[in-house]
Amino acid sequence: MNSMTDEYVTEDGRRIGGTVMDLRNITLRFGGVVAIKDISFDIRQGEIRAIIGPNGAGKSSMLNVISGFYVPQEGEVWFKGYRRGPMKPYQVARLGIARTFQNIALFDGMSVLDNIMTGRLNRMKSGFLSQAMWWGRAEREEIEHREAVEKIIDFLEIQNIRKTPVGRLPYGLKKRVELARALAAEPQLLLLDEPMAGMNVEEKEDMSRFILDVNDEFGTTICLIEHDMGVVMDLSDRVVVMDYGRKIGDGTPDEVRNNQDVIDAYLGVAHD
Amino acid sequence: MIYREAGDFKTSYRSDGQTFPIRLDRWGYYAVLAVAFGVLPFVIDDYWANAVFVPFLIYAIAALGLNILTGYAGQVSLGTGGFMAVGAYAVYKLMTAFPDISVMIHILLAGGITAGVGVLFGLPSLRIKGFYLAVATLAAQFFLVWLFNKVPWFYNNSASGQITAPTRTVLDIAVTGPTATAPAKYLTCLVFVVALAWVARNLTRGTIGRKWMAIRDMDIAAEIIGVNPLAAKLSAFAVSSFFIGIAGALLFAVYLGAAEVGEAFGINKSFLVLFMIIIGGLGSIFGSFAGAAFLVLLPVLLKNTLVGGFGWPTDLAAHIELMVVGALIVTFLIVEPHGLARLWQLAKEKLRLWPFPH
């Protein structure tokens, strides 16, 4: 991994392209607390990029910077070759960045179908009058997008709960619906904040399979945070390791596994 | 046995997304429409129109409006009475200023003006939510009532401070003023109710409705998936106020005929409509109708039973009526917090499996 800008093909045959998201010298402070200190890394087209680190390392803050929820005090965020200025979260969404949340953020009062349909809001262009009359564009769009959403429902194998209110679903399914909602936006960059937190082994296997399939079939670039080391090492192409708001490692799973700083951060180090 | 979805297969997303997916519901809906348009106008008399149907229809519009804002978009409002006053005074000014233009257009315009005022008072919702927003809209309620009392221009400098609806006709039939007949009043309100309920249903099942519900259920997640909270909240205020303004215009022009703002559009109205949507069911079109029916019909029913049936004195009956309605509201909130709409839905689910629930 010496020439960072060249395209290459992974062992399992996926094509990794140039840089999509480039974070340069990001520093994020909350008052006097420094959450992220001078971190730079990039995410390349088509890869699965993981961010790991002990609790409180600043991983979620990093994801919030990428998704535009936090604006860093210093540093630059470059997306698809353009420098991104301070933006509202909904504007970032329109650039093609979707995400899921650590603690599920679905719309409990709506059905699974409606929840996933909200993922396509930015692609719907029908005007107010057309919607009020349910005439022409509004109805046409509804059916078009329903078809797209049904493909995702098939893909994630949640056909049987389509019309169920989300509030009634068990945890693992909620996580899957949230992934479906993010996928419905057909994002170029998909951010997953602990997609497997609180799942049992079987659910984790399912979710891992879905993440790999999304990456493989749709070519979606994925950036994920996860605590389960086995999952991270298996899924990801490259890993960023954070500790106390700093980057202490960056590279392929193997490189990271053998990095002394990373081992120290996770296992602790004897001070003599 | 007849109420089944089995065998009623949906072969397109269009038919899957329709309003009444079960055949019997569809028939029921058409039957209600047929009776409302085809039978009732010929049999309705002044008592039934003034005591039951006209207020029910008008409050159904107001409840629909508030339900869009509170039930679908999650923004609590206590300004309903004030916004109804805006609709009433707008239609009054329009009717007296442009007597040659159809009153139907005036009523629609009054809705439009109220939508504008609603957006203005909806601006605080971008910063505050929940109880605090309720207090901010309460300010709208008091301010608007004060304004219409204080500025004589709004009531055309009339000595009594009241506004009185002049006679206006649609197709040469008087629908406002003292000469309007019961069927004319009823049909005017019915046309608006059917049209607005249809619009409400269309808006809430499509993109705009999903944006509102997303903001209601989790505003941060809504923003992250690309909902502009400013546009979503203000459009909810606009549409809701449009409905409420039309309700206010109809209440004044068609139902009351004459109104004094503090009396007709006071804080009591705001609470009445809020109770309607809470009892009927938040976030449900059917619930708006059920709640309006409940709170309009129940007092009439109680009065008839107590005064007509038991022969109690009217003032005693009036007090008992207040207590009974209050107690019923409390009971309702405890037994079924999701309102009549939820009860209706549960009943239908049971019926779908009846008589073999397993």
C-alpha to C-alpha distance for B19 and A253, rounded to whole angstroms: 52
Domains in chain B, number = 1
Task: Pick the residue from chain B with its C-alpha nearest to A150.
Answer: B13
Q: Is residue B16 part of a domain?
A: no
A94, A105, A142 ranked by CB distance to B206: nearest:
A142
pLDDT tens for each residue of B274-294? 988 988 888 889 989 999 998
Residue B227: is its pLDDT beyond 70? Answer: yes
**Nearest C-alpha neighbor of B239 from the set B115, B358, B84, B106:** B115
- Give the pLDDT confidence of A90-119 residue by residue, as tens digits: 888 888 899 898 888 889 888 899 999 988
Residues B107, B110, B111, B112: is their CA dihedral positive or negative? positive
Residue in the block written with tokens 């010496």: A2
Q: Is the sign of the CA dihedral A165, A166, A171, A173 positive or negative? A: positive
Q: Is A110 on the interface with B (CB under 8 A)?
A: yes
For tokens 């009444």, name the residue.
B20
Between CA B276 and CA B80 the distance in angstroms is: 12
Domain holding B131, by residue range, is: 39-266
User: Is residue B304 a part of any domain in this protein?
Assistant: no
In a domain, B301, yes or no: no
Give B283's contacts in chain A (Cβ within 8 Å).
109
pLDDT tens per residue, range A149-161: 888 898 888 888 8
Contact A182, A156 (CB under 8 A): no
CB atoms A146 and B206 under 8 Å: no
In a domain, B319, yes or no: no
Position B2 scores a pLDDT of: 61
Nearest alpha-carbon partner for A189 in A85, A100, A88:
A100
Q: Is the pTM of this model over 0.80?
A: yes
CA separation for the pair B77, B265 (Å, rounded)? 15
- Cβ of residue B64 closer than 8 Å to a chain A Cβ: no
CA distance B224 to B218: 10
- CA gap B279, A3 in Å, rounded: 66
pLDDT value at residue B3: 66
- At B98, list the tokens: 């442009």
CA R_g for chain A: 19
In this complex, which of B206, B216, B220 lies closest to A105 when CB atoms are compared? B220
**Has residue B247 got a pLDDT over 60?**
yes
Question: By the CB < 8 Å criterion, does B171 face chain A?
Answer: no
Answer yes or no: do B202 and A133 touch at CB < 8 A.
yes
Please report whether residue B164 resides in a domain. yes
CB proximity under 8 Å: B 208-267 to A: 208, 210-211, 213-214, 216-218, 220-229, 235
% pLDDT > 70, chain A: 96
- Residue B348 domain-assigned (yes or no): no
Asked if the model's pLDDT at residue A2 lies above 50, the reply is no
pLDDT in tens, B169-181: 788 777 777 777 8
Which contacts (CB < 8 Å, 24+ apart) does range B293-297 have? Answer: B293/B56, B293/B60, B294/B340, B295/B59, B295/B325, B296/B52, B296/B55, B296/B56, B296/B59, B297/B52, B297/B56
Residue B254 lies in a domain: yes
Q: Is B222 contained in some domain?
A: yes
* Torsion, Cα of B232, B234, B239, B242 (10° steps): 180
Report all structural domains of chain A as residue ranges with CATH numbers, in order of start. 8-96+187-267 (3.40.50.300), 108-171 (no CATH)
Q: Which of A136-140, A244-248, B117-121 has the lowest mean pLDDT?
A: A136-140
CB of A150 within 8 Å of a chain B CB? The answer is yes
Confidence of residue B5 (pLDDT cuts 50, 70, 90): low
For residue A34, report the phi and psi dihedrals to the nearest 5 degrees.
-95, 110
